[in-house]
Amino acid sequence: MTDLPKTPSFELKGKRALITGASRGIGLAAAAALAQAGAEVTLVARSQDGIQQAAEAINSAGGNAHYEKLDVTQLEKVKAFFTNQPAFNILVNNAGTNRPKPLTEVTEDDYDTVLDLNLKSAIFVTQACAKQMIEEKVLGSIIHLSSQLGLVGSSGRSLYCASKWGLEGFSKALALELAPHGIRSNTVCPTYIETPLTKPYFEDKVFLERILKNIKLGRLGQVEDLMGPIVFLASEASALMTGSSTVVDGGWTAE
């Protein structure tokens, strides 16, 4: 009889996961997905109310969730956060922002706000998390929420593109550096996802029509579209993947 190979497990039981920007939208979906796969999840965000409610909802649904107020742009607080607990197995760098406007109108404050949160914070949260993983010999998966705009350009979004292209390069370099320690680094690159943060943009019918022309599957993304890829990258099912970009864009970048 032929011996059949066994599909690697998507289960995350016994794993600890940290999700930044986890109070709503993609971050909340990531936390819920990892909890549903069996991970113990810790939600962090600037606002305690949102993450507390999110963690309570996950626990009410049978998951195991904790929360802590943390502004990831305050690097000393980031360092302190990691020193007070054991290493995580999974990190989801999700916290981010955008200030879409023409380059001629971009201010230094715009630059600092977008690049500090989208790139600088992601780098130093990862540094603190990876350092603990290495010291405690924890094998792990680091997942960065990038964007299709980390792979292509878009008018009026120079800062956002710069931050996400930077995140893509960082993830690839990190993959090479951390591979000897059994720690993987990958990105998820979504198209426009309908969340509380992005929903106001789609009220502009001209903008929405232009977006949908580029999403070849003809619809906006939903947070549920990212839950499977995040669990996949966190689990043993993606054990040989590092330095890669998982593109969830409805065909936007295929053209």
Q: Which of 111, 160, 192, 201 is catalytic?
A: 160
Helical (H) or strand (E) element with 11:
none
Distance CA 160, CA 151 (A): 12
> What is the Rg, in whole angstroms, of the alpha carbon atoms belonging to the chain?
18
Determine the Cα–Cα distance for residues 51 and 67; give it in Å rounded to an integer: 6
- Amino acid 138 reads V
Nearest alpha carbon to residue 233 among 247, 220, 254: 247
Contact 69/46 with Cβ under 8 angstroms? yes
Q: What are phi and psi of 42, to 5 degrees?
A: -120, 125
For residue 243, with 0-12 CB atoms within 10 Å meaning exposed, 13-18 middle and 19 or more buried, which class applies?
middle
Q: Which residue shows structure tokens 């706000």? A: 113
Q: How far apart are CA 252 and CA 255, in angstroms?
A: 7
Catalytic site includes residue 160: yes
Q: Are 168 and 245 in contact (CB under 8 A)?
A: yes
Please identify every residue annotated as catalytic: 160
